[in-house]
Amino acid sequence: MSTIPAVELVETHAPGLGPAASPDLGPCPSPAAPDPRKLESGPSRQWAPHAAHHAAAPKSGLAASAVKEPMGELALRIGKRAGRSVATHQYHRGALRVLRPHYLDDSGQVCYVLVNPGGAYLGADLFLLDVDVEAGAGLLLTTQSATKVYRTPGSFAEQRMALRLGDGARLELMPDQLIAYRQSSYRQNTRVTLRPSSSLVMAEVITPGWAPDGASFKYEELRLRNEIHVETDGGTELLALDNLLIRPPLNDVTGLGFMEGFSHLGSLVVVDARVNQALADELHALTAGYKAHTGMSLTRSIAGTTGLVLRALSNSTGELNSLLGACTALLRERWHGQAPLNLRKY
């Protein structure tokens, strides 16, 4: 199986989709980070994601994206009650909310659809999301439509997401594609804290938006950063830091070591105690039937859990969605006895 450096423990300035040495990340110390589940004072004791996300704001050479008040905030806590997963706390403000929950099968896993009534991200927009899946609960979180990032002159749009999974908790994060239009800059920072018995699956597709001259890479910058931490009784350790940075104005991103002549990028991140080399090989073989250039990396193991990152390059959103859908379908059927996802959004 070929490997690509899809996961790095140091910041890189390119997707780095060329050949890699070893996918084993080895140990890496992580600085202490604030608890993303801070509570407001006062009798209501409501969840306050605002302060926690500002504490972890990334540095930038551009103008700061964070305005005094976020454009949208969402906090969602999922627990298990009478064999079904339900929301035990829900809070939203501004241009973020979720639709009514529904259940796709009899597994008890709840599905929520994230909605941005504004329809797009613009310059200096900041969106904060906190999702907590409690012990034994299961959540499928998706979006109503693609995330569109329009022009952000002199600034950038930003999304900060904090995810926490309890013992035996399960989260599938399956948003529609991210579309970056010309002269747009976007930052996405996702921090995950999970237990060794948790199960995490995150998929993402990045596509270039339309430009008048038909060129694919007219956006200014895309920076997507995933920090995944494993929490044990002895403390919290960094499992993986997955950092993707694409700056078309500074580099020829179409060539070797970047996008390899492709325009679309797909990623799949899986963390589970059942992840191993055999599964990575099987998923890699599964992707061979698609019109995409694909590579795989495994993380080290912490307390029995391991991470897997798949990167895929293509010229088609549909092809990447099909590829990632086939991989997640294999995991859903084998681990949970569930059918492939069919969200029927359109």
Q: Is the pLDDT of residue 291 over 60?
A: yes
- Please indicate whether residue 33 or residue 233 has the higher confidence score (pLDDT): 233
Does 234 map to a domain? Answer: yes
pLDDT tier at 256, thresholds 50, 70, 90: low
pLDDT at position 255 is: 67
Does 228 map to a domain? Answer: yes
Does 265 map to a domain? Answer: yes
Q: What is the mean pLDDT of the segment spanning 54-82?
A: 70
Residue 205: burial class (beta carbons within 10 Å; 0-12, 13-18, 19+): buried
Does 35 map to a domain? Answer: no
Residue 128 and residue 118: Cα distance in Å, rounded? 15
Domain holding 118, by residue range, is 49-336
pLDDT at position 346 is: 44
pLDDT digits (tens, 9 = 90+) for 80-136: 999 999 999 999 999 999 999 999 999 999 999 999 987 788 898 999 999 999 999
Does 126 map to a domain? Answer: yes
pLDDT tier at 261, thresholds 50, 70, 90: confident
Lowest mean pLDDT among 52-66, 217-231, 264-278: 52-66
Beta carbons of 101 and 132 less than 8 angstroms apart: no
Q: Is the pLDDT of residue 210 over 50?
A: yes
User: Which CA distances in Å does 153 have to 64, 65, 210?
Assistant: 12, 11, 17
Does 182 map to a domain? Answer: yes
pLDDT digits (tens, 9 = 90+) for 134-144: 999 999 999 99
Residue 102 and residue 99: Cα distance in Å, rounded? 9
pLDDT at position 92 is: 95
Residue 72 and residue 214: Cα distance in Å, rounded? 32
Does 25 map to a domain? Answer: no
Please provide residue 6's backbone torsions phi and psi, each rounded to the nearest 5 degrees. Answer: -70, -20
pLDDT at position 268 is: 97
Q: Indicate the number of domains in the chain.
A: 1
Q: Is the pLDDT of residue 183 over 90?
A: no
Beta carbons of 259 and 253 less than 8 angstroms apart: yes
Residue 230 and residue 163: Cα distance in Å, rounded? 12
Reading the block at residue 44, the tokens are 């209501």
pLDDT at position 68 is: 57
Residue 149 and residue 159: Cα distance in Å, rounded? 11
- Please indicate whether residue 1 or residue 164 has the higher confidence score (pLDDT): 164
Residue 222 and residue 188: Cα distance in Å, rounded? 8
pLDDT digits (tens, 9 = 90+) for 315-343: 999 999 999 999 999 999 999 999 999 88
pLDDT at position 258 is: 75
Residue 338 and residue 332: Cα distance in Å, rounded? 5
Lowest mean pLDDT among 119-133, 159-173, 186-200: 119-133
pLDDT at position 252 is: 67
Q: Is the pLDDT of residue 31 over 50?
A: no
Does 2 map to a domain? Answer: no
